[in-house]
Chain A
């Protein structure tokens, strides 16, 4: 084998670079986010379902309310719920940065809900006159 030393050193460097993320971040995984729930009442559906499928539910709600004009949702407990992201969901979950954003940032998802929908607390960022541009 010609140039065995050089090749072996090169392979070692290559392996080092390839595994860099593994040993650099080893044991330091970002902590699992804990969304903060402000209210004690029950959510529209149970927590496990909401955690897994709130995005599908919101999509259904959007089309049902806006396109079919049916703003009433009946959940699995048989209760009637008024369909509105801003007036139903975010009345309880008014802490968007501690509830919505924590998981969304962790999962690196950027839903465009808040291009338009907002909470009163959050609106202070853009609605006040002395804010940034």
Chain B
């Protein structure tokens, strides 16, 4: 026997100490890089840091709740969207599929600063129009393992249903509840409905959400919800163009966004 138990333990102990020490020194070497990485994260909103390239669009939307709240029972935008995109309807709320919907104040705006009990009653009881925020830093895109959901250069967070494997990571990541899973064959939820033959349906087992009407924008049209609203609640346009209507509306009105504290930088703004 060349080595006894005592000797073996000694060698093992010493070598593990050396390894730990080496690891620690590696960490120490890395720390300046780590700190600068943290700084980048700190500026996660990033909007003012990077000026937009010329000619690059950044689609955004303003929702004027002052006008919307005058028509409490109106669902014209929702109907138009769900018709144009063949969004199925299921009675069971667990199977609900939605692209644009109305949400209570305390569910839409959960920032601790906006939830105090002295808020105006009209606002607290108001239903807010919600849709995908098409964030600058979309958490859904970060978690998608197949790149089925991705951010286009114009800021639209798009879905490639061909690639979606239905893992629902994006649903867990999205803080706005903008994504719905097709538990059932969505065509069952379209029975007896008028279909839009220009747009496909989805299949069972994929996640779907608002696409900012990317297929209509490609044809030079406005999103279906914007077109359907008779009261001018929804303003859609290019946030990078300082002369656009949306920029004028944003400059003239104080607007809020949903859950800005999360650093996702939504591109849907609310006038309250």
A116 in contact with B200 (CB, 8 Å) = yes
Residues in B with CB closer than 8 Å to A117 are 200
- Give B97 Cβ to nearest chain A Cβ, in Å: 14
Least CB distance, B160 to chain A, in whole angstroms: 5
- Stretch of A20-28, A29-37, A118-126 with 4 or more beta carbons under 8 angstroms from chain B: A118-126
Mask: chain A, 76-97; 1 = CB below 8 Å from B; 0 = not: 0000000001110000000000
User: For the complex, is B259 an interface residue (Cβ under 8 Å from A)?
Assistant: no
A69, A119, A128, most chain B CB atoms within 10 A: A69
- Chain A 12-26 near chain B by CB (<8 Å), digits 1 or 0: 000000000000000
Contacts of B161 in A (CB 8 A): 116
> A36-50, CB under 8 A of B: which get 1 and which 0?
000000000000000
Of B104-112, B171-179, B189-197, B247-255, the one contacting chain A is B189-197
- Whether A127 and B192, one on each chain, are in contact in the complex, defined by CB atoms closer than 8 angstroms, is yes
The answer to the question of B183 belonging to the interface, with a C-beta cut-off of 8 Å to chain A, is no
Given contacts A62-B162, A67-B150, contact A123 B191 (CB under 8 A): no
Using A123-B195, A126-B191 as known contacts, list a sample of 7 further A-B pairs with CB atoms less than 8 Å apart, ordered by residue number in A. A66-B162, A69-B214, A86-B198, A118-B200, A119-B197, A120-B195, A123-B197
Task: Tell me the B residues contacting A by CB distance below 8 Å.
Answer: 150, 152-154, 158, 160-162, 187-188, 190-193, 195, 197-203, 214, 218
